[in-house]
Amino acid sequence: MSITQLLTKKRFGEELTKEEIREFVKGVTDGSFADYQISAMLMAICINGMTKDETLYLTMEMAASGDMLDLSAINGIKADKHSTGGVGDTTSLVLVPLVAACGVKMAKMSGRGLGFTGGTLDKMESIPGLSVNISAEHFTEIVNEKGLAIIGQTKSLAPADKVLYALRDVTATVDCLPLVTSSILSKKIAAGTDVIVLDVKTGSGAIMDTYEKSMELAKTMVDIGNRTGKKFSALVTDMNQPLGNYVGNALEVYEAIEILSGGAEGDLKKVSLALGAHILRLSGIVNTADEGIRLLEEKIRNGEGLKKLSEMIAAQGGDARVPYDPSLLPKAEKLIDIKANKSGYVGSIQTDMIGYAAKSLGAGRERKEDAIDLAVGLVMKKRVGDYAEKGDTLVTMHVGAISDVPRAQAFIEKAIEITDEKPVLPVLIRGVVE
C-alpha cells in the first residue's frame, strides 16, 4: 500500500492494520517516505487518534525498527524507569543505586536535557571522568557485575522514533497521546528490560499540563506496555514546582548524594522512593509499595545506596570518591541571590520558567549539539507555601561565563508569585496506575 493510501485511510479516521503500520514505520526508517508525507500522517493521527491495537502495533514496529538489546546475559530481573520530563527531577540518581542495593538489576538508558527539562546523561557527565557512551556489551558486563549502569541510548535503538520525534517537534503534534505513548514505550521495549516504572508528570513543568491528560497518558502507557509482555506501572506526580531544590547538572548530583547520604528530605526523595518501591514490587522483591519504601529507607540508613552509586561511577570511568566528597563536582564562578520584593507566601511557581532560567544560565540547551556549563544552575530557597519576608532570598543563581544573568533573573521573577494568603499545597503523588 502506498503512503497516499495510508494517509487517505487515516485522514478519514479508519483503523490501520498491523501490516499497514509496519509499512509506514519501514518507510519512515529507510527514508522512502518524504518528511511532508510523514508529517501529514502525524497530523492525521493527532486529529483522529489511534485505537489501542494501532498504538500497540506502532509501538512494537518502532521498537523493531532498529536494534533490540538482548539482556538475557544479565542474571535476574532487569528494570528501568522513565520520566516524561521535569525540572529538578533527579529521581534516577537516587532510585537506581537504592533499587540495585535491593538486588534488582537496574539497566538504565537515559537521554539528554532539551528545552526547559533536564537530562540524566548531562547530570552524570558532571561527575569527573564518567562516561555514558558505553557499548552494549560493556553495559551488560557492568550491570551483571555491579547491578546497575546508566548510559545513553544507542543510535540504532528505535531509529524510527528519532525521525518521528524531530517532525513532531515542528508540527505541533508533541502532546498527541498515541504518539507520546509509542515514542516512550518503543525505546523502553527495545532496551530489553523486564520491568518498567513510568513517572508521568503533570502541571506547569510537564508535557501534559492537566491531571486528566497526565492520567490518561499513564493509563494508556501501562495498558499498552503490559500488552507487550513486560511489567509496567506508572505514577502521576506533580510538576507545579521543581521536584528538587537544586536545578542544574552538578547541583542535582549534589542533591542526590545528599539524599543517599541521609542528609536531605523533601519531595525529590519521596517521589524517588515511591518509584523505586514500585520497581521492587513488580520485581517480586516486596509485596507492597509501602514495604518497598521501608526497604529503600534502610538502604539509605546503612549506606548501601551511596556505596552502589560509587560503584557505578567507578565502573563507568568516573571518580568513585564523589559520593563521599561532593566538593569534587564542578562549581560555578559566582553566586547571585534573587530576593523577595515584598513579604508574603510563595503562592505558586511556574516550573517551566524556572527551567528556562536554568537554561539561560547555561545549564540546558536548545539543540542537542549545544554546549552547556555543568556547574551552573539555581537553588530554590523557598517552595510553594513557604513564607518570605521582604528581602529574603527566593533563589540563588550559580553563574558562569556563558550565563545570561538578566534573562535568567527575568524568568525567575516571572515564575514566583508572592501572595497574601497561604496557598493550598500541591499534592505530590496524584495517582498510581497498576
Helix (H) or strand (E) holding 227: helix 211-227
Catalytic annotation, pick one of 183, 186, 233, 283: 183
CA atoms within 13 A on the CB side of 285: 28
Catalytic annotation, pick one of 10, 112, 162, 187: 187
The verdict on whether 161 is a catalytic residue reads: yes
Q: How far apart are CA 347 and CA 385, in angstroms?
A: 6
Q: Yes or no: say if 178 and 45 are a contact pair by the CB < 8 Å rule.
A: yes
Pairing state between β 416-419 and 344-349: antiparallel
How many angstroms separate the Cα of 47 from the Cα of each of 41, 42, 179, 364, 431?
Answer: 10, 9, 12, 32, 27
Catalytic annotation, pick one of 10, 108, 112, 168: 168
The verdict on whether 175 is a catalytic residue reads: no
**If DSSP codes are grouped into helix, strand and coil, which group holds residue 334?**
strand
The C-alpha cell at 385 is: 507555601
Give the gyration radius of the chain's Cα atoms. Answer: 22
Q: Yes or no: say if 350 and 342 are a contact pair by the CB < 8 Å rule.
A: no
The verdict on whether 407 is a catalytic residue reads: no
Catalytic annotation, pick one of 80, 89, 122, 161: 161
Catalytic annotation, pick one of 10, 81, 82, 299: 82
Q: How far apart are CA 49 and CA 180, in angstroms?
A: 12
Question: What residues are labeled active site?
Answer: 82, 161, 168, 183, 187
